[in-house]
Amino acid sequence: MLPKITIGWLCLVLLSWGHTLYGQADHRALRQGDQQYQTGDYEAAAESYRQALESRNSAQGNYNLGNAAYEQGQYDEAVRRYEEAARIAPNPEDRANAYHNLGNAYFQQGTYDKAAEAYKQALRANPADLETKYNLAKALARIPPPPPPQEQSDDQQESESEENQDQQQQQQQQEQDQDQQQPQQSQPSEGETSQQQPPPDQQDLSRQEAEEQLEIT
């Protein structure tokens, strides 16, 4: 197995699974890759691990290839390999190691939120791992806090104040209009009386007509 080492303050789990004899070709390629990795020839190690993966897509091959890519600063490739290793890991311990190193790759990319989530996944598989807890704390400390609510500018506040005043004035005007629209008698127009004209037989009689009616009576 590849040893567990610490790079700077960031704990990087560099492990490989025991070489189960999937076949002579991939077993030989995995062993050769481990030897090349130990001597620091990460490029050659990566090529050996790729040869092993051509024979069989294994969690071990993806994990070790992720380590070789990580050491070369190829963090995108490392992320892909660690994700695949975690997906097909045969047990919780191996899955925890894959997520741990996945968090390290994300950390190196500066995506601290993804790094923190990967460390949390590792701790779900192996809650007692102190190095993962340490790395998680480092990643969380790098995540910037959410920005405070944006304060309104003076111009915007003044504009909203004027708008509120206009609305209040409109409401007051509407209330005044409603008060003035109470039921009223229709006002007479010029040249008209305020009362309706009586029927023709009730109109004022002339003096002569009145006297004539009195005489008839």
What pLDDT digit, counting tens, does each position of 2-34 carry? 433 333 445 555 554 444 445 677 789 999 999
Report yes or no on 16 lying in a domain. Answer: yes
pLDDT band of residue 91 (cuts 50, 70, 90) is very high
Report yes or no on 148 lying in a domain. Answer: no
Alpha-carbon distance 79 to 76, whole Å? 5
Average pLDDT of every residue of the chain: 77
Q: Region 74-84: what's the mean pLDDT?
A: 97
Helices (H), the chain: 24-38, 42-55, 59-71, 75-88, 92-109, 112-125, 130-142, 154-180, 207-216
Report yes or no on 212 lying in a domain. Answer: no
Separation of CA 197 from chain center: 80
Query: What domain count does the chain have?
Result: 1
Report yes or no on 184 lying in a domain. Answer: no
Report yes or no on 126 lying in a domain. Answer: yes
In this predicted structure, the answer to whether residue 106 has a pLDDT above a threshold of 90 is yes
- Min mean pLDDT across 48-57, 70-79, 192-201 is at 192-201
pTM, two decimal places: 0.63
Task: DSSP letter for 131, please.
Answer: H
Structural domain that includes position 103:
5-142
In this predicted structure, the answer to whether residue 73 has a pLDDT above a threshold of 90 is yes
- Give the domain CATH number at 39: 1.25.40.10
Of 114, 113, 133, nearest to 122 by C-alpha is 133
pLDDT of residue 5: 35
In this predicted structure, the answer to whether residue 212 has a pLDDT above a threshold of 80 is no
* Beta carbons within 10 angstroms of residue 25's beta carbon: 13
Alpha-carbon distance 31 to 44, whole Å? 12
Report yes or no on 216 lying in a domain. Answer: no
pLDDT tens digits along 160-207? 667 777 777 777 777 666 655 554 444 444 444 434 444 444 445 555
In this predicted structure, the answer to whether residue 149 has a pLDDT above a threshold of 60 is yes
Report yes or no on 182 lying in a domain. Answer: no
Q: Region 93-116: what's the mean pLDDT?
A: 96
pLDDT of residue 154: 56
Q: What are phi and psi of 15, to 5 degrees?
A: -125, 160
Report yes or no on 152 lying in a domain. Answer: no
Q: Region 94-111: what's the mean pLDDT?
A: 96
Bigger pLDDT: 215 vs 169: 169
